[in-house]
Amino acid sequence: MKLSKNKLQTFRGQLQKQHDEIIVKLKELTQSTDPTTEESQGDLADQANADASSAFRIKIQKHARILLAEIDIALRRIEAGTFGECSECGESISGARILASPATTLCIDCKAELESEKSRFLKK
């Protein structure tokens, strides 16, 4: 079942809002990682704390960039008319799955199969 134009507009709006919020957060994180801050001063405990804080910010930035890429793909799929279709089997992705993860490209069956294959591969 194809998504209605109204639903597509709703998802486009949600995805664009998420995109814009992530951009703002990334800018804030980038500004807070200024190397000229006082993080380079202090005792070893302060230095370790600063290093851990910096590593955590970098991890958050990486995750945010991955999410941005997924959102961009979803927005392009909306424009191409393929949003809501499984990229593996071509069937419709359930509305509940799209609501839970609008950037998803796989239906629940294909996602389960992929996870099963990963699991089998890791056990070897």
What is the per-residue pLDDT across 65-88, written as a single tens digit (0 to 9) for each?
Answer: 999 999 999 999 999 999 999 999
Give the whole-angstrom CA distance, residue 83 versus residue 93.
9
pLDDT given for residue 99 in this prediction: 82
pLDDT digits 0-9 by tens, 15-37: 999 999 999 999 988 887 555 44
d(CA 22, CA 120): 35
**Cβ count within 10 A of residue 74:** 24
* pLDDT for position 124: 61
Residue 30 pLDDT: 81
pLDDT score at 17: 94
Under DSSP, the state recorded for 81 is: T
Q: Which residue has the higher pLDDT, 51 or 80?
A: 80
What pLDDT does 35 receive?
A: 54
